[in-house]
Amino acid sequence: NAGVTQTPKFQVLKTGQSMTLQCAQDMNHEYMSWYRQDPGMGLRLIHYSVGAGITDQGEVPNGYNVSRSTTEDFPLRLLLAAPSQTSVYFCASSRGTGDSPLHFGNGTRLTVT
């Protein structure tokens, strides 16, 4: 199994551009989520989904959109990139039950200039 796969690994954007970070999992997990990791701040939840067709906001949702049309995929869209969105983005998935740990991808390092 590949687990959680994120693409691209690196991306540079100019302020105002838009892009989509891709995330796919092959574990048939119901739950998927996006986190951003900034130096000294740990991981913060952006958006999450408890199943296909269902999404909700996390701690820092502003400037990001998500959709969940299939169980496997959970793309994250940056609508108008800003320098404050420079970060490392991690996608994760889990069975979604109360005692199932998150499995993470290896991240996308995004720089907005």
Distance CA 113, CA 92 (A): 26
Which one of 16-24, 38-46, 67-75, 77-85 is the stretch in contact with another protein (CB under 8 A)? 38-46
Contacting residue, 23, 25, 31, 34, with another protein by CB under 8 A: 31
Select 5 or 67, whichever has its Cβ closest to another protein.
Answer: 5
Site for another protein, residues 81 to 100, rule: CB under 8 A: 90, 92-100
User: Can you list the pairs that 37-44 forms with residues at least 24 positions away whose Cβ atoms lie under 8 Å?
Assistant: 37/87, 37/88, 37/89, 37/90, 37/107, 38/87, 38/88, 43/90
Contacting residue, 17, 61, 82, 104, with another protein by CB under 8 A: 104
Radius of gyration of the chain (CA): 13
Per CB under 8 A, residues contacting another protein are 4, 31-33, 35, 40-45, 48, 50, 58, 90, 92-107
